[in-house]
Every structure is written in C-alpha cells, then in structure tokens.
Structure 1
Amino acid sequence: MADTAVPQFFEQFPMQRVDSASLDAVLAEDAHPLNILFLWGRDCPNCDIAKRAMLLAAERFQWPQVRWLHDNVYDDPAMGTRFGLHGIPAFFVFAGARKLGRITSWPGAQAFVDAVEKQLNQLSIP
C-alpha cells in the first residue's frame, strides 16, 4: 500500500523492500557489510518525521558499505512480532545476518548518523 504523507520517499531514497518471509535470505546474501532495516507504518507521524529528515539530507544517510531495507509492519505484522516492536519507526542494524542493535524512534539526524558511523567504525569498515 502506498505511503500517503511522504509519497515519493522510497523513490527518492531507494531501499530494498523485504518482508518477514524474505528477510533472512536477503541478510544472508552478505552483499554489504552493514544492513539497516527500517520498520515503518503507513500514516505513522513519527515515521514521516524520519522520512522527511532523511530526504532533507539524503547524502548524510547513504554509505557505500550500507544496504537499506524496509518493511511496512502494518502490512506485515509478523515482522513487528519477530522484533518485539512497541513502536515505530524502528531501525535494526545488521552485520550480515547478525543483529548488532536497534535504533528506536527517531533520535534526530545527527544522532542517527553517529550511531551508524559508530557501528561502521567498530566493524573497521572504511
């Protein structure tokens, strides 16, 4: 289903769509050292805040070593159950299939970038 508040987000900020059935296979591809899974919902005000912030400075949120994945948990409640979500947006950071951590809610652009770059540095990924 389309996102109504930020309708062009996924065209302007490309992310690979996954669902609860495909996530493990996608993470196993090991195409990128780091994967960020963005769990969001249609008409979620906090998700829209995150999307708008990411579009305002898209270059700050794109690293060559990172592959972005996304899923609308309202359409795929099994994903929300799998990760024990209590709210969205939620971002999960993976090295391959290994979950490194989560960023819940939207901490703001700089805090988000700092958290991802910290993971990249800990993995010694240039």
Structure 2
Amino acid sequence: MAHPTTYEATTENFDALVLEPRGELVVVDFWGEGCPNCDVYAEAEPSLLSELEGAPLRVVKVNAYQQEELARRFGLYGIPTFLLFRDGKLLGKMSQYYGREYWLGVVRENLPAAS
C-alpha cells in the first residue's frame, strides 16, 4: 500500500487536483512561510500520512501567500487552514493544526467508506 500522495496546487491546477478526483478524500493544506503552526504540521505530515497508508486520500498544499486568489476564493483568514473535499464537495475545514490525534480523527471521519 502506498502513502497518500501530496501535491502542490496553483490557481491553474487547483480544480483538477481538488474538485475532480472521485472516491478519495482531498485535504487542502493552506500554509505560508513564517507561520509557526504551519511548520509544526509540515514536520508532522510524513508520520501522519504513514498512519493513513492505503487510505483513499491526497493532500494538496497551497501556499496562501503565493496563491492569494485561492485563499480569497475560500475566504481564509488564518493559516494553516485545512479544507476537506470529497467528490468535488467541500465537507468542512479545520482552522489551525490542533495536533496529531485531532487531525487524524477528522481525516478518518471524512474518508470515503471502503467499497
């Protein structure tokens, strides 16, 4: 089983990476340089994803400072913010990274049911 894949999104490829996939959970990580909480998450991310090995999941990273249009599109005020999408629909969001257990719990709750 493979680890969930991470992608870098820009305004140009965002919809293809986030809204078009079917049957998987897409976690969009809005982050930016000089954001301590973003760094905490980034350091934790490899081990978080290894916990989710084989899950129908992808993480799409958006630099909120470089992709201001996307940050505006979703009305973001603070980073990190994690938006959860499945089958093109926004399911919810986590404002901030509240630590490993919380993040994994929310992600697991929103994964598509195993077929």
| TM-score normalised by the chain length of structure 2 | 0.83
Percent sequence identity is 26
Instruction: Point out 4+ residue stretches in structure 1 off by more than 6 angstroms.
Output: none
Unaligned runs of 5+ in 2: none
Unaligned runs of 5+ in 1: 1-12
Alignment equivalent of 1:108, drawn from 83, 99, 107 = 99
Aligned residues: 112
Larger RCO of the pair (alpha carbons < 8 Å, separation 6+):
2
Q: Which sits farther off after the overlay, 66-75 or 53-62? A: 53-62
Q: Which sits farther off after the overlay, 17-26 or 32-41? A: 17-26
Alignment equivalent of 2:25, drawn from 13, 30, 34 = 34
Q: Give 3-state SS (helix, strand or coil) of 2:45's partner.
A: helix
Q: Give 3-state SS (helix, strand or coil) of 1:15's partner.
A: strand
What is the root-mean-square deviation of aligned Cα atoms in Å?
Answer: 2.1
| TM-score normalised by the chain length of structure 1 | 0.77
Residue 125 of structure 1 is matched in structure 2 by 114
Report if aligned partners of 1:54, 1:61 keep a CA contact under 8 Å in 2. Answer: no
Structure 2 vs 1, CA of residues 111 and 52 (structure 1 numbering), >3 Å: closer, same or farther? same
Q: Give 3-state SS (helix, strand or coil) of 2:79's partner.
A: coil
